[in-house]
Amino acid sequence: MEKGVNVGRSDMPAEIEKKISRDPDLFLIAEADDCIIGSVMGGFDGRRGLIYHLAVAAPFREMGVGSRLMDEVEARLRAKGCLKCFLLVKNDNTEAELYYQRRGWKPMNSVHIFGKELQ
């Protein structure tokens, strides 16, 4: 698995299919030579946006693939009327933290993230 990508139960194929059926226009892929080299999965609940995952295959990093994916998903969220968007970065993924900060994302020190398994 690529560094920084955390795959859990909600990332299993059946769960991804549910997500795609809800927001098909916010699930984007980048391709080269008929192979997927990157993807971003966003969501919008009518109030806030969320970037669930951004991943780019290692050989294609630092080539603008992630930036193009993020530019497009952010534009699509904006077009839906989304005023604010969030994303989560694992505590040990400083590379991703720096990447998002360069893109204008800011750490939110005023909140704690809580989670609860429902099934």
Domain ranges of the chain: 9-102
pLDDT value of position 5: 62
pLDDT along the chain (119 residues), means of 10: 62 80 94 96 95 94 96 98 94 93 94 88
Give the model's pLDDT for residue 63: 96
What sign results for the dihedral spanned by CA atoms 83, 117, 18, 88? positive
Q: In what order do the strands lie in the sheet with 49-56?
A: 27-32, 35-44, 49-56, 85-87
The class that CATH gives domain 9-102 is alpha beta
Q: According to the model, what pLDDT value does residue 67 have?
A: 97
**pLDDT in the model for residue 107:** 93
